[in-house]
Amino acid sequence: MANLAFLGLGIMGTPMARNLLRAGHRVALWSHGTEKARKLASKEPNAVFAETPRAAAAEADCIFLCVGTSEMSELVLTGPGGVIEGARPGTVVADASTVAPTTSRAIGQRLAERGIHFLDAPCTGSKPGAEGATLTFMVGGDEAVFDRVRPFFEPMGKQFYYCGGPGMGLEAKLTQNLTLANMMLAFNEGMVLATRAGVEPSLMVEILSNSAARSGLLAFKAPYVLKRDFGTNFSTKWMAKDVGMALDSAREKGVPLPLTGVTFQMFQAAIAEGYGDEDMCSTIKVLEDWAGVKVAQKS
C-alpha cells in the first residue's frame, strides 16, 4: 500500500478519495477551507488530515487533485503553501480536474523544474461514476510515469486512456464534452420542433432511440426532460465552462467551430435565464420558451 494524497473534495473528489482509502492506501486529505478534509479524515481509518496542499504533499508518492477551475488548480499546485513547496523530487502529481490545457502544461513545466512529475488526468462519468469507481480517465504526460502510477488510478475507475504528451488528456476530455454539448443542443432543437409540430414527445424519443440518432446522451437525458426533472447530474454552468475552454483551445489553434460557437451561446442563454445550476438538459427550456411548448410526456 502506498502513501497518496488527494486534494479537493467536491462531488467528484470525495468519492474518488474514499475509493483510494478503501483500497487500503494511506491518503493525506486536503480541501479548500479544510472542513471537508477534516470530516472525511475523521471517518476513514487510513486517512490523514492535512492543513495545506504542501503538508498533504510531504509524504506522498502520488498526489491526486480534483478542483473546479484552472485558477484553483494553479493555486493548489504552484501557489504559496502549494504542492510545489512540499513534494519531493520524483513524486507524481495527477490532476483529475478539467482545466485549460495551456494552464495545465504551464503547471507541469513549473513542477518539472523541481523534479516533480505531472500528468493531466481528467475523468468522465459524473457523480455515479465517481461513487461506483467506473470513471474513465484520459491521461496526458510521460507514458512511463503513467504506467508507474496506473495501479493508484485503478480503485477509482474502469477505463484508462493514455492520450499522448502534456495536456493531451485534457484535449480529449474537452473534445468529448464539446461533442456532448452539441449533441444536447441537437436533441433540444429536434424535440422542440417535433413537439411544436404536434408529434407526441415520448413517441419522438422512441423513434429517435430506434434510429441512427440513438445515443448515450439521449438514453440518459430524454427521460429526465420528459419527466421535467432538471435536477443536476452535470450542470449547465459547468458544461458551459468546458465548452468555453474547448473554444479557447480551438481559437489558440486557429480552428473555426461554428456549431460549437452557437452551442456555447445557447448555454450562455440558459445561464442568463437562470438555469446555470440545473442539469445541462435544462438548456431545452430556452427553446421551449421561444416555441411556446413543453417537451413533456403525457400525464
Residues lying near a copy of itself in the complex (CB under 8 A) are found at 101, 124, 136, 138, 159, 161, 163-165, 167-168, 171-172, 174-176, 178-180, 182-183, 185-187, 189-194, 196-200, 203-204, 206-208, 210-218, 220, 246, 249-250, 253-263, 265-266, 287, 290-291
Q: Name the active-site residue from 173, 221, 241, 285.
A: 173
Please say which residue, 216 or 231, places its beta carbon nearer to a copy of itself.
Answer: 216
Which amino acid is it at 81? G
Eight-class DSSP state of 88: P
Q: Which three cell numbers stand for residue 140?
A: 496526458
- CA distance linking residue 148 with residue 225, whole number of Å: 43
- CA distance linking residue 73 with residue 54, whole number of Å: 13
Distance of CA 209 to the CA centre of its chain: 26
- Residue carrying C-alpha cell 502506498: 2
Eight-class DSSP state of 166: T
Please say which residue, 22 or 158, places its beta carbon nearer to a copy of itself.
Answer: 158
Nearest distance, CB of residue 212 and a copy of itself, angstroms? 4
- Note if 221 is an active site residue: no
Please say which residue, 30 or 146, places its beta carbon nearer to a copy of itself.
Answer: 146
Nearest distance, CB of residue 203 and a copy of itself, angstroms? 7
Instruction: Region of 101 please: left (phi>0), alpha (psi -120 to 50) or beta.
Output: alpha
- CA distance linking residue 279 with residue 4, whole number of Å: 33
Angle, CA 293 vertex, CA 291 and CA 294 arms, to 5°:
130
Please say which residue, 111 or 208, places its beta carbon nearer to a copy of itself.
Answer: 208
Nearest distance, CB of residue 220 and a copy of itself, angstroms? 6
Nearest distance, CB of residue 43 and a copy of itself, angstroms? 32
- CA distance linking residue 88 with residue 70, whole number of Å: 23
Task: Pick the closest to residue 272 from 228, 236, 247 (CA basis).
Answer: 236
Please say which residue, 84 or 205, places its beta carbon nearer to a copy of itself.
Answer: 205
Nearest distance, CB of residue 145 and a copy of itself, angstroms? 18
Which positions are catalytic?
A: 173
